[in-house]
A and B are shown apart, each in its own frame.
Chain A
């Protein structure tokens, strides 16, 4: 009971808990969760958001280090763009391998996650290492490239706003535009999309892959610009993998991703507080999330099976 109270307090107990813990932790989950949700909507199993985020963070750091003295909006725009482009490029490798060589993206994106981690590891010891050369991390980025806080005195930053905007745009595109409709069709039935709709499936898949990578890369830039101000190895505690849970629990709906990202952010913040005050391990949060995901998967599988049977029972019938 104490533990639950601590969890609640840590996540929602105060304005500080909400604005400086829960929502800050939800920010990367929101952007990466959108990246995964979009990809899954098109049937692209991008489990490489982790790597795309790391590469995005690296590119954003590299750009921001030299931006001192630039006007702030331009500096932020540049570093965010660098992050998104790098993430898209990293995803583009997997997209190209799938299109050109039919390499399963599950395997290629997984490999690219490790290559990205090695890349960061090298960058913070080599080209991007801080000037004294003592610590394995980059120097702090130029002040001009640091993202503005949304509410003074709280750590909530521009990234959350961008995440909300991205969620709204993603929802609008999926629901209201021809491009979004093609994405949903390719995910629901590539055969029907190609056969009845004349949709270029390969092109749609590549496009979604790139956008997904860009969102993950933007998440990396947002963490650098809004939270850490420097690049280091443990930058992401597996956001790219948690994002799969975020997307799945939201049933791949961008609006739902806002809710589930906040939920997981709250769980994360609350669990940390719970560990401090009630000595209950923070990783309990992870167990809860994983159990939720497996339950959702299981229930869905059982429901689909029942549907299948019902479909079979009504196969030939009076019109």
Chain B
């Protein structure tokens, strides 16, 4: 039972959570600076297509670079509108996502023959880490994963450390809470927000790259399938902390893995409802955690 059901389920959870975690950590950085980026979905889909195109030229490593750059470009458009022109964050983000979804679809269709099967590439498969992978349960779940997942093992602690233990991280948090107080000690809030949005978009692009290069091995229109919005839910569920975001991504990954498991096993469990659970949990948490004020006070304010 453990080996046949639980381990594959947990392994799938971690694998499914990988792109979500990239995107959610990016959104976390952006939101801690006081900006909610609904254009993240657009950064992810741009990352997907760019990763596919660049990977066809230079392999998986270049694919990740391409994905990151595409995410960065989409985020730059969003930052230009929201920070420099001071447009509404919510509407701008939605429009940027719409634009990126449409543009990637257009580019993809004009590059490939629609009738032919979607151009596929070799995915970067799991790499078992010596010794660690042989540990019971933990081994296959955590240490027989693709390289992108291992990258997160470095990114997560690094980000947590950066937020808590550097002056730049503190400046980011202060900007999201009260920009004028940050400005009073010489921090430039606009510059901080630009940087936070760019980093967030880059992480979104990496999420798209991971989706294409690790999981799917090809591109479909709209394949980001709302992961950018899910990332926003994850950040809320994780109460705007790095640790919470990791667990939030795993919760969503787990819900997807579970749903997939039930779907393929033909069980009578109402599995689509599992998909709703993390969102319901997010809403409940939002309601009950009021007063603790974990949300950046300046979120979504111009």
Contact = CB atoms under 8 A, between A and B. Distances in A.
A285 B98 CA distance: 10
Contact of A281 (B110, B233, B273, B300): B110
Contacts of A164: none
Interface string A276-303: 0000110111111111011001101110
B76 to A, nearest CB: 13
Most buried by B among A104, A111, A248, A297: A111
Given A114-B229, A287-B103, A297 B290 contact: no
B221 A283 contact: yes
A101 B287 contact: yes
Interface stretch (B48-56, B150-158, B277-285): B277-285
Contacts, number: 144
B75 to A, nearest CB: 14
Interface stretch (A78-86, A119-127, A147-155, A193-201): A119-127
A286 B287 contact: no
B178 to A, nearest CB: 18
Contact of A121 (B110, B221, B275): B275
B98 A289 contact: yes
B94 interface: yes
A115 B280 contact: yes
A194 B287 CA distance: 25
A238 to B, nearest CB: 8
Contact of A110 (B91, B99, B109, B232): B232
Interface in B133-192: none
Given A47-B90, A104-B299, A107-B236, A283 B101 contact: yes
A108 interface: yes
Given A290-B95, A290-B98, A290-B99, A114 B276 contact: yes
A113 B276 CA distance: 10
B94 A97 contact: no
Contacts of B272: 118-119, 121-122, 125
Interface in B258-273: 270, 272-273
A103 interface: yes
A119 B276 contact: yes
A45 B275 CA distance: 25
B18 interface: no
Interface string B78-91: 00010001111011
Nearest to B94: A244
Interface string A133-156: 000000000000000000000000
Contacts of A289: 98, 102
A44 to B, nearest CB: 11
Most buried by A among B85, B99, B106, B272: B272
A100 B280 CA distance: 17
Nearest to B237: A111
Contact of A106 (B97, B283, B300): B300
Nearest to B36: A106
Interface in A67-108: 93, 97, 100-104, 106-108
Nearest to B86: A301
Most buried by B among A102, A118, A284: A118
B300 A104 contact: yes
A101 B287 CA distance: 6
B86 A283 contact: no
Given A101-B287, A101-B290, A111-B233, A281 B275 contact: no
B72 interface: no
B221 to A, nearest CB: 7
Given A103-B290, A281-B105, A290-B102, 20 more contacts: A45-B90, A93-B283, A101-B286, A104-B299, A106-B36, A107-B36, A107-B236, A108-B283, A111-B236, A111-B282, A125-B272, A242-B98, A245-B95, A281-B106, A286-B98, A287-B103, A294-B99, A297-B87, A297-B91, A298-B87
Which 3 A/B pairs are nearest by Cβ-Cβ distance?
A286-B102, A290-B99, A283-B105
Interface of A: 45, 47, 93, 97, 100-104, 106-108, 110-115, 117-119, 121-122, 125-126, 241-242, 244-245, 248, 280-281, 283-291, 293-294, 297-298, 300-302, 305
Interface of B: 36, 38, 77, 81, 85-88, 90-92, 94-99, 101-103, 105-106, 108-110, 221, 226, 229-230, 232-233, 236, 270, 272-273, 275-276, 279-280, 282-283, 286-288, 290, 295, 299-300
27 contacts: A47-B90, A106-B38, A106-B90, A107-B236, A107-B286, A111-B283, A112-B279, A114-B279, A115-B276, A117-B275, A118-B276, A122-B272, A244-B94, A283-B105, A286-B105, A287-B103, A288-B102, A290-B96, A290-B102, A291-B99, A293-B91, A294-B95, A297-B92, A297-B95, A298-B87, A300-B87, A302-B85
